[in-house]
């Protein structure tokens, strides 16, 4: 992955040491709660508390007395944040925002591209692990309620003793181009009709990333593509994906039309760079926090000003 493309991926940035050894300490949270330097990242209904429109608020321990889940994220390595490097940070899930309800909150899609490296990585990590806790309250083997351990990074079945670890679901996303170097954009059935993005899909068991690229493109568009080239990856905690970005080109000599599958994809359009620039008042592109936007701008050759932040 080139550094120029990496710089386009807002959610792949980080300035946090995840401190995996610290997770093993039995009294970790007692130690953290006794440490006046510890800071809390409150999460409520998928949103984080803001200090400013472009930064997250981190609170002292006693400012957040009630929570349903907590996870040790690690220690800050940032030298430009208000908190010094080495600050321990814990994400907490709130069932009720209580006295914080009147404060400003925002979700990752809204602010991910505007946050600092530390805040972007911190919020992405927090949402990913807290989403996992929400979906793994019970053991998949015995059905018994699981117990959070090791700083919030393991859930244990108290009956069998088995441990359940966080999982990430890999998904490919691909910028498909034709012989004229036009890019293919599709409109998903779940979106408003004028929103267009790249083709994407989850990797199936027993499948390579490259095979998933070729299969998903064919399933959603009827096109046969070759030469999948890896660009980069970005976590996407909605709820637990890792988006793996590729480019691919339509197979030489392929003469079939791009035909939407009619279930997931309702419309497909080819765009040259000039055509895309002309269509910006007509269509909505992927948001600036997404890897889809990064891939489109990588093909386009520069940032695209469509009024989204």
Do strands 147-149 and 39-44 pair parallel, antiparallel, or not at all (unpaired)? Answer: unpaired
Angstrom distance (rounded) from CA 85 to CA 80: 9
Helix (H, G, I), strand (E, B) or coil at 211: helix
| Pair 220, 111 in one domain | no
Q: Residues 6 or more apart from 252 whose CB is under 8 A from it?
A: 179, 226
| Pair 273, 180 in one domain | yes
Per residue in 124-160, is it b (16+ CB within 10 Å) or e — as a string?
Answer: bbbbbbbbbbeebeebeeeeeebebebbbbebbbeee
| Pair 124, 19 in one domain | yes
| Pair 117, 201 in one domain | no
Find the mean pLDDT for residues 137-146: 94
Find the mean pLDDT for residues 280-307: 95
User: Are 237 and 131 spatial neighbours (Cβ–Cβ below 8 Å)?
Assistant: yes
Under DSSP, the state recorded for 96 is -
User: Are 298 and 304 spatial neighbours (Cβ–Cβ below 8 Å)?
Assistant: no
| Pair 130, 205 in one domain | no
| Pair 126, 185 in one domain | no
Under DSSP, the state recorded for 306 is S
**143 in a domain, yes or no?**
no
| Pair 199, 292 in one domain | yes
**150 in a domain, yes or no?**
no
Of 35-39, 95-99, 220-224, the range with the lowest mean pLDDT is 95-99
**What confidence score (pLDDT) does residue 6 get?**
86
| Pair 128, 182 in one domain | no
| Pair 202, 270 in one domain | yes
Find the mean pLDDT for residues 275-285: 96
Angstrom distance (rounded) from CA 153 to CA 20: 9
| Pair 176, 123 in one domain | no
Q: Which helix (DSSP H) or strand (DSSP E) does residue 187 occupy?
A: strand 183-188
User: Are 102 and 127 spatial neighbours (Cβ–Cβ below 8 Å)?
Assistant: no
Q: Give the phi and the psi of residue 38 in degrees, each rounded to 5.
A: -60, 140
Percent of the chain with pLDDT over 70: 99
**What confidence score (pLDDT) does residue 101 get?**
78
**What confidence score (pLDDT) does residue 309 get?**
73
Of 125-129, 157-161, 204-208, the range with the lowest mean pLDDT is 157-161
Q: pLDDT tier at 3 (50, 70, 90 boundaries)?
A: low
User: What's the CATH code of the domain at 291?
Assistant: 3.90.79.10
How far is residue 44 CA from its own chain's centroid? 17
Find the mean pLDDT for residues 229-253: 96
Of 19-23, 55-59, 217-221, 303-307, the range with the lowest mean pLDDT is 303-307
Give residue 272's region: left, alpha or beta (phi > 0; psi -120 to 50): beta
**66 in a domain, yes or no?**
yes
Percent of the chain with pLDDT over 90: 91
**164 in a domain, yes or no?**
no
Angstrom distance (rounded) from CA 254 to CA 212: 19
**270 in a domain, yes or no?**
yes
Burial of 86 (C-beta count, 10 Å sphere; 0-12/13-18/19+): exposed
**27 in a domain, yes or no?**
yes
Q: Give the phi and the psi of residue 139 in degrees, each rounded to 5.
A: -70, 130
| Average model confidence (pLDDT) across the chain | 95
Find the mean pLDDT for residues 127-135: 97
Give the count of domains, the chain: 2
Angstrom distance (rounded) from CA 213 to CA 133: 30
Helix residue ranges per DSSP H, the chain: 3-6, 28-34, 108-111, 117-135, 209-221, 273-279, 291-300
Q: Which helix (DSSP H) or strand (DSSP E) does residue 169 occupy?
A: strand 169-177
- The domain in which residue 111 lies consists of 11-135
| Pair 114, 176 in one domain | no
**104 in a domain, yes or no?**
yes
Q: pLDDT tier at 148 (50, 70, 90 boundaries)?
A: very high
pLDDT tens for each residue of 55-110: 999 999 999 999 999 999 999 999 999 999 999 999 999 999 888 878 899 999 99
Find the mean pLDDT for residues 46-57: 97
The terminus-to-terminus CA distance of the chain in angstroms comes to 25
Find the mean pLDDT for residues 13-18: 97
Length of the chain: 309
**157 in a domain, yes or no?**
no
Find residue 243's DSSP bridge partners.
171, 234
Q: pLDDT tier at 1 (50, 70, 90 boundaries)?
A: low
| Pair 110, 178 in one domain | no
**What confidence score (pLDDT) does residue 2 get?**
60
């Amino acid at each position: 992955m080139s550094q120029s493309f990496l710089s386009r991926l807002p959610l792949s940035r980080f300035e946090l040491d995840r401190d995996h050894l610290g997770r093993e300490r039995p009294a970790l949270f007692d130690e953290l709660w006794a440490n006046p330097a510890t800071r809390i990242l409150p999460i409520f209904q998928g949103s984080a508390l803001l200090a400013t429109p472009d930064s997250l608020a981190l609170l002292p321990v006693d400012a957040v007395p009630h929570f349903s889940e907590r996870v040790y994220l690690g220690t800050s390595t940032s030298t430009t944040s208000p908190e010094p490097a080495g600050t321990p940070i814990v994400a907490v899930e709130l069932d009720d925002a209580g006295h914080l309800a009147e404060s400003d909150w925002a979700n990752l899609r809204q602010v991910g591209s505007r946050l600092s490296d530390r805040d972007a990585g911190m919020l992405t990590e927090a949402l990913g692990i807290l989403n996992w806790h929400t979906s793994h309250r019970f053991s998949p083997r015995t059905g018994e309620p699981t117990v959070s351990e090791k700083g919030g990074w393991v859930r244990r079945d108290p009956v069998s003793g088995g441990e359940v670890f966080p999982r990430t679901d890999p998904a490919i996303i691909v910028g498909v181009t034709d012989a004229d170097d036009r890019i293919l954009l599709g409109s998903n059935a779940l979106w408003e009709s004028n929103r267009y993005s790249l083709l994407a899909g989850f990797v199936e068991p027993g499948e390579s990333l490259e095979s998933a690229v070729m299969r998903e493109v064919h399933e959603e568009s009827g096109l046969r593509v070759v030469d999948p080239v890896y660009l980069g990856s970005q976590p996407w905690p909605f709820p637990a994906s890792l988006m793996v970005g590729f480019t691919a080109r339509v197979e030489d000599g392929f003469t079939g039309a791009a035909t939407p599958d009619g279930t997931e994809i309702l419309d497909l359009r080819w765009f040259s760079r000039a055509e895309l620039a002309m269509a910006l008042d007509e269509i909505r592109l992927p948001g600036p926090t997404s890897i889809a936007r990064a891939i489109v701008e990588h093909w386009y050759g520069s940032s695209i000003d469509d009024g989204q932040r």
